[in-house]
Amino acid sequence: MRYALVTGGSRGIGRAICCKLAEMGYYVLINHNSSPAEALITLSLVKENGSDGELLKFDVAKQNEVEVALGEWQGRNEGKTIQILINNAGIRKDALVMWMKNEEWKDVMETNLNGFFFTTRFLIKDMLISKFGRIINIVSLSGIKGLPGQANYSAAKAGVIGATKALAQEVAKKNVTVNAVAPGFIKSDMTKDLDESQLKSMIPMNRFGKPEEVAEIVGFLASEKSSYITGAVININGGLYT
């Protein structure tokens, strides 16, 4: 059995990724922090897609929670390795910088950037020992071009992009790849407060993307077929920004 962890896997893009990995035959560890009911729905969909999985509750922004939850899983599953890590958990707290509160900056940085670091650092050693791993970071158009009102989110995602490129070079010789996927406007909980009818006019394809379209790219990067791709940032934004 091959094992994959998807942080923020209970809804939206995370749920679609869980389903895609299940379709590929992975046992899926579905991380959630505050949505147990939604996570259970994701687990049922994983089973419908021909595989199995379990829920792992922890806040990626809190180092102790990450290490306790993953350490306990390893203790229950001696000899098993999480080969695929999808760093998907993220939050937005939009505001113009002049009005942004300290906690709005801090919370977004801790979840989006520190969360990537704490989870990746804990799992990377086993990938290196087994000489196989796929780390896929879900970043954002905001981290590539910057978006007004999202200085905190743009900074966090840009940080993950930089870390992706650096880490890819550190671990490439051990057959561990590290890539990032940068969605634009995708229909999900993260974008439900945005005015789709207005924003889609900016997109050459004239629509928001679907979570499943992001999941297809993630599935490819998680597969053996992507073995020579590392340090890449792949845009999926309908042509909005290239």
Give the residue numbers annotated as catalytic, written as ranges: 153
What is the C-alpha to C-alpha distance for residues 172 and 156, in angstroms, rounded to an integer?
A: 24
For the chain, the residue count is 242
What is the C-alpha to C-alpha distance for residues 110 and 51, in angstroms, rounded to an integer?
A: 32
SS3 of 203, please? coil
Cβ pair 82, 4 in contact under 8 A: yes
Instruction: Please give the structure tokens belonging to residue 200.
Output: 């889609």
196 φ/ψ angles, rounded to the nearest 5 degrees:
-60, -40
Residue 239, Ramachandran bin (φ over 0: left; ψ between -120 and 50: alpha; else beta)? left
Strands 2-6 and 233-236: unpaired
- C-alpha torsion angle, residues 142, 145, 147, 152 (rounded to 10): 60
Cβ pair 118, 67 in contact under 8 A: yes
What one-character-per-residue DSSP string does 62-89 give?
-HHHHHHHHHHHHHHSTT--EEEEEE--
